[in-house]
Chain A
């Protein structure tokens, strides 16, 4: 649904987005990760046609965003950063306005508004003006606006920013449900969200894509992936180091595999050693790798340099 080829955006001499290419198909939920200022919002603004790219192409549903902007924009629902909306309007008036701009009239508009009101739990604040709402409600009002025409493509800039944990949970569930039938791109810097909602994630840093894969694939890039942590009576670092590099965690040992591809063999080898040596195991688990660590390792050096 979304095709991005070599997208570049320069602001003065700064390359905010530098040769980004990726595709998103229907049924995919793409998490867009990166430190602040990495170019996430800028990329999204180019996908939605708000900003013209300095170079490269974006097409949505086969329509080039620069050449036939209206056709492309009709397919997109967009939740901008900070969920901007008109503060002096009521929620109802705002959603009616969005529906009308999307070409929904009469009973169709009523249906559309009712549908998103239910989806985003806005029933109780329908007649309130937006500036009297709490941040969570404001956010969901803007999200409702993005969903009003049941778009094929959904672009969301930090959809869970400023929500409480319950609301975050709801929004993630919503994204996952919607993602079955739509192509979704959302940006975040909360890594657990990638696990909770994404089928694929891209990490972007200083305008460039530095990692692209499923959450599992990204996790496998972690140092930690495949390591075995064991705490057992009698276990010694010396003995364990036969199997790989050992880290003493104080009361427990972490064994890193010599070769990442053989991480399952490492676990088996540890179990065998335990049996052989007669250690009393208190706990033992195989590490999955942490996105957090991958993210930091990929993006930190640059952040420090800056």
Chain B
């Protein structure tokens, strides 16, 4: 457990000793602001909720989360530090979990810095803060799922750009599987059972439940199993590299 914390600490510090953290935080906050208040018609909606804010997260994360996750393993492989790390008395799963947790915490920080949005709705109206809390939980889990996918693609290559693109594509699939235009298209020639199965793989279906204020164990499990699966795959990929 201590090894996990040691690696996570180093990883987290690495974000802040490079410009990555600051660039990411500024862009993330600017974009959430823009999408919420301008593109999301926050004021015209006339409702005291953060629906306009959370609605954009699956799309915003699609580009930004792979940017956070792409370096995790690709960088270690490129610079050769992977050899250093894995010859320390550390089990590979500890390193994988540690790196994931560090970048997830970083994303949590970014999310926490959106608190002015909560203040704004609370000053302007009387929102249901329970729904907002559920929204944040959903958003955090969504970020975790994307991040785990990025971890996996990062382990596949020593090139960060390739890791980024692969990750965006996989995450895009995770969104589109439940996106209305896509499910509508599917219903034309597939049975409802197939459509439901495909849609069940979509992060959007599960994410929306949180935005309605529903914290359902199944949605929780969905995100956790995506994370678990992707990290497990990361472990297999890394073992594959070492085996040559």
Contacts and interface: CB of A to CB of B under 8 A. Distances in A.
Contact of B84 (A11, A102, A103, A145): A145
> Could you say which of A16, A73, A86, A88 has the most chain B C-beta atoms within 10 Å of its C-beta?
A86
A78 B79 contact: no
Given A87-B79, A97-B10, A51 B88 contact: no
A52 B243 contact: yes
B89 A84 contact: no
Given A81-B80, A84-B83, A101-B6, A51 B89 contact: no
Contact of B86 (A50, A81, A88): A50
Given A73-B89, A97-B10, A101-B7, A51 B243 contact: yes
A141 B85 CA distance: 15
A102 B89 contact: yes
Contacts of A129: 17
B237 to A, nearest CB: 15
Contacts of A98: 88
A138 B13 CA distance: 20
B45 interface: no
Interface in B1-15: 2-3, 6-7, 10, 13-14
Given A49-B86, A84-B80, 15 more contacts: A11-B244, A50-B83, A50-B242, A73-B87, A76-B87, A78-B83, A78-B84, A80-B80, A85-B84, A86-B14, A86-B81, A88-B17, A98-B88, A100-B6, A102-B89
A49 B90 CA distance: 11
A41 to B, nearest CB: 10
A80 to B, nearest CB: 5
Task: Give the interface size class of chain A.
Answer: 20 to 34
A70 B80 contact: no
Interface string B69-82: 00000000001110
B89 A101 contact: yes
A52 B242 contact: yes
A88 B89 contact: no
A45 B89 contact: no
Given A11-B244, A97-B10, A48 B87 contact: yes
Interface of A: 9, 11, 16, 45, 48-52, 69-70, 73-74, 76, 78, 80-82, 84-89, 93, 97-98, 100-103, 129, 142, 145
Interface in B194-244: 242-244
B206 to A, nearest CB: 36
Contacts of B90: 70, 73, 101
Given A11-B244, A102-B89, A97 B6 contact: yes
A78 B244 contact: no
> Could you say which of B10, B91, B242 has the most chain A C-beta atoms within 10 Å of its C-beta?
B10
A82 to B, nearest CB: 6
A110 to B, nearest CB: 16
Contacts of A74: 89
A82 B80 contact: yes
A35 B160 CA distance: 33
A80 B100 CA distance: 25
Contacts of B87: 48-50, 73, 76, 78, 80
Contact of B242 (A51, A73, A80, A145): A51
B9 to A, nearest CB: 8
B18 interface: yes
A9 B243 CA distance: 9
A95 B53 CA distance: 43
Interface string B29-48: 00000000000000000000
Contact of B3 (A78, A89, A101): A101
Interface in B65-123: 79-81, 83-84, 86-91
A190 to B, nearest CB: 21
Contacts of A89: 10, 13-14, 17
16 contacts: A49-B86, A50-B242, A51-B244, A70-B90, A73-B87, A76-B87, A80-B80, A84-B84, A86-B10, A86-B79, A86-B81, A89-B10, A97-B6, A100-B2, A101-B7, A129-B17
Contact of B89 (A11, A97, A103): A103
A97 B14 CA distance: 12
A103 B5 CA distance: 12
Contact of A84 (B10, B13, B81): B81
Nearest to A94: B10
A287 to B, nearest CB: 42
A202 to B, nearest CB: 21
Nearest to A145: B84
